[in-house]
Chains A and B, each alone.
Chain A
Amino acid sequence: MTAPFLVARNIAKRFGALTALANVDLEVRSGEVLALLGDNGAGKSTFIKILAGAHPPSEGEIIIEGSPVAFSSPKDAAASGIATIFQELALSENLSIAENVFLGRELKRSILGIPFLKRREMRQRVDGLLQELDAHISDPEAPVGSLSGGQRQAVAICRALNLNAKLVIMDEPTAALAVAETRKVLALTRRLAARGCAVVLISHNISEVFEVADRIVVFRRGRKVAERLAAETNHEEVVSLITGAHPDVRALEKTN
C-alpha cells in the first residue's frame, strides 16, 4: 500500500471550555474515498476545517506526503493541494460562477504592474469544467445566489477541480439535493478518486456512503470511535457505531 497523502495525528480542538475534538488519528490515501460519519455535533465539520486550514488545531499535527504542515489560512491548505467544499459552501452569492470558481486565485495579466483580470479565459475554463460535470446552467453570468442547490454544489466542485487538488473534502455535498443531482455528485466523487485524488466525504446518508466510500470512519462526541473498510462492514453495524450501541464503542466510552 502506498504512503498516505495525509496523516492527522492526535488532533484536538477546543472552543473555550468546549472540547469539539480529542485524540483523532486518521490517514487519507490518494485514489480513495473516505467517508466520515457521525451524529450532529460529533465534530466532523470541525475536523475537516482543521484539514482545510480554517481552524488551527489546539493539539496534534498534520503530515502531508511525509512532511508536517501548519496551515494558518485556507490559502495555505490550498497551496498544499487541499480543496474543501464547506457545508455552508463558502460561495459568494453576489458573484458570478466564473468569479466564484477563481475567487482568491484569479487569472490575471499585469499591465504597468497592475494585475488585470483575464475574464474571458476564466469564463472559458469554467465553461469547460461545467461541461465536464454535465451541469447545465442557463446563464453563467448570473450571480450564484440565483442558482439551485445542485447548481451551487456544481460550482463548488468546479472550484475544487480547478485547483487541481490532491485532496478534495466535501461536507454533506448532497444534503440539499434532489435525487438526480445527488446521483451526479456521487458519480463525480468516484470520478475524482479515479483521477487519483483523495476524497473525504461527510454524509448522514448511510446508503449513499456505501455506494461511494472505500473506507468509513465514525466520529462520536469529538472522538474517532471506529474505522472500517466499506467492504467489510454493513449498514447495521455502521448505525450501531454512530448511535453508540455497538459493543466496541461502549467499551471505548467506558474506558474514557
Chain B
Amino acid sequence: MNTVRRSGNGIFSMNGREWSLLVACLLAITIFSVASPHYATSGNAVTVLRNSVELLLIGLGMTLLLAMGGIDVSIGIVMGLAAIAIGRILGADGSPFLAIVAGPMAGAVLGCVTAAVVVLGRVPAIVGTLGLLGVYRTAVFVLLGGQWLSGLPSSLTDLLSTTVLGIPVAAFAIAVAYLAVWLALRRTPYGLHLLAIGNSEEKARLSGIPVVKIRFATFVISGVLTGIAATFYVATYRNVEMTIGSTLALDAIAAVILGGTSILGGRCSLIGTVLGVLLLRILQNGLLLIGIPSLWQPVVTGVLILGVLGFEAVSNRLPLARFQRARA
C-alpha cells in the first residue's frame, strides 16, 4: 500500500515533495545563472514562463487522469488537432472570438472520443490512447497536407498575447483553470469519487460511485484544458507545424509524477504539478542556453521520470515505509 501518504486539501498545500521541487527549481536557476551569462535575464524568465503555459494547462488535466488511475499519451496530438481547428478558423478570417471558443470545443469533442474508446470501450487507458495517438498523427498529416499552417492573422494574438492590469492573459487563464480544478478535486463529490476510483475501481463501484460517468467526465475535462492550451499556442506562434505536440504527453506525465501524483492513482498534488512543469521547463531552457542541443530534451524528461519512479520504488522498500505498511 503506497497510498498512506496523503496530500493536503488546501489550495497550495505543500508536502516534502513540493518543497523539494521548489528547492530544485531555485538550485537549477542558480547553477544556470552561474554557467551562462545569458541565463539570468528578465527576457529569459519570460521565455521560460511563456514556454510553460500549454504544459501547465495540460498538466492539470493529466493530474486528474493519473489520480484516477488513467493516462492519456495522445494529449499532445489532441492539442495539435485543436490547434488546426483554430488555425483554419483564423486562416479563413473568422472571428478571433470564434477561434477562442473553437479550441475548448474541439478539445471537448476529442475528449469525448478518447472517453468513448477508453471508458465505454473498456480498453486500458494506456493502450486506447496509444491507438488514438497513431490515428491522430495521421489525421494531422492529412489535415495539414504535409505543410505548415503559417502566417495566421494576428487577431487572436492581439486578444490573448497581451496583459490586463499588467498581468498576461495566459496567467489569468492558468489561475482560473487551477482554481476550477482545485475546487472540483478538493471541494466537490467529483474529487472524492475520482480519488476513490484511482485507489480501486472495483471498491469505488461497490461504494455506489458512478464510475463510468466520473471517468468519462475526466477525459472530457482534460480535453477542454488541452483545447485551451491549443488556443494559447496558436495565439503565440501563429502557426501549426507537423510535429506539433510530439513531446507534450511525455512532458506532462513527467511533470505530474515529479509533482508527487501517483502513477498508480489515488493520490495527487496540483501545486506539485505546477512546480513539476516549472522545473522541467527551467531545465530544458537552461540546458539549451549552456549549449546542450535541444535534441537532448526528451532524454532529460525520460531520466526525470525514471529517477522519480526509481526513487519511489526504493523509498517504498525502506524500513520506515515497510513499518507504515505493516501498520496499515
Please state if B6 and A94 are interface contacts (CB–CB under 8 Å).
Answer: yes
Counting chain A CB atoms within 10 Å of each CB, which of B4, B189, B199, B210 scores highest? B189
Chain A interfacial positions (CB closer than 8 Å to B): 52, 54, 73-75, 78, 84, 86, 88-96, 99, 103-106, 108, 114-117, 142-143, 145-148
B1 on the A face (CB < 8 A):
yes
Please state if B206 and A103 are interface contacts (CB–CB under 8 Å).
Answer: no
B13 on the A face (CB < 8 A):
no
Question: Which of chain B's residues have a CB closer than 8 A to the CB of A75?
Answer: 208, 210
Please state if B328 and A99 are interface contacts (CB–CB under 8 Å).
Answer: no
Nearest chain B CB to A18 CB, angstrom units: 19
Q: Beyond A75-B208, A116-B188, is A143–B203 a contact (Cβ under 8 Å)?
A: no
Please state if A117 and B208 are interface contacts (CB–CB under 8 Å).
Answer: no
Name B's interface SS: helix
Chain B interfacial positions (CB closer than 8 Å to A): 1, 3-4, 6, 183, 187-189, 192-193, 195-196, 198-200, 202-210, 266-267, 324, 327-328
Quick one: which of A74, A90, A94, A103 contacts B3, CB cutoff 8 A?
A: A94
Quick one: which of A78, A92, A145 contacts B204, CB cutoff 8 A?
A: A92
Question: Which of chain A's residues have a CB closer than 8 A to the CB of B187?
Answer: 116-117
Please state if A74 and B206 are interface contacts (CB–CB under 8 Å).
Answer: yes
Question: Closest residue to A91 on the B side, CB-wise?
Answer: B203
Please state if A92 and B195 are interface contacts (CB–CB under 8 Å).
Answer: yes
Question: Closest residue to B324 on the A side, CB-wise?
Answer: A146
Q: Beyond A114-B188, A115-B189, A146-B328, is A90–B266 a contact (Cβ under 8 Å)?
A: no
Of the A-B pairs whose beta carbons lie under 8 Å apart in the complex, a sample of 30, sorted by A's number, is A54-B205, A73-B208, A74-B207, A74-B208, A75-B208, A86-B206, A90-B203, A92-B200, A92-B204, A92-B207, A93-B3, A93-B266, A94-B3, A94-B6, A95-B196, A99-B192, A103-B193, A103-B208, A104-B209, A105-B208, A106-B189, A108-B189, A114-B188, A116-B183, A116-B188, A117-B189, A143-B6, A145-B4, A146-B4, A146-B324
Question: Closest residue to B197 on the A side, CB-wise?
Answer: A92
Given contacts A93-B266, A116-B188, A145-B1, 9 further A-B contacts (CB under 8 A): A52-B206, A73-B205, A75-B210, A92-B207, A92-B266, A94-B198, A95-B196, A117-B189, A145-B3
A90–B199 alpha-carbon span in the complex (Å): 10
Question: Which of chain A's residues have a CB closer than 8 A to the CB of B207?
Answer: 74, 90, 92, 103-104
A95–B1 alpha-carbon span in the complex (Å): 13
> Nearest 4 CB-CB pairs, A to B?
A104-B208, A75-B208, A90-B206, A94-B3
Counting chain A CB atoms within 10 Å of each CB, which of B187, B198, B207, B327 scores highest? B207
Q: Beyond A92-B195, A94-B267, A146-B327, is A115–B6 a contact (Cβ under 8 Å)?
A: no
Please state if B188 and A117 are interface contacts (CB–CB under 8 Å).
Answer: yes
Please state if A74 and B205 are interface contacts (CB–CB under 8 Å).
Answer: yes
Nearest chain B CB to A15 CB, angstrom units: 15
Nearest chain A CB to B8 CB, angstrom units: 10
Please state if A103 and B192 are interface contacts (CB–CB under 8 Å).
Answer: yes
Question: Which of chain B's residues have a CB closer than 8 A to the CB of A94?
Answer: 3, 6, 195-196, 198-199, 266-267
Question: Which of chain B's residues have a CB closer than 8 A to the CB of A148?
Answer: 327
A146–B328 alpha-carbon span in the complex (Å): 4
Question: Closest residue to B262 on the A side, CB-wise?
Answer: A94
Question: Which of chain A's residues have a CB closer than 8 A to the CB of B199?
Answer: 92-95
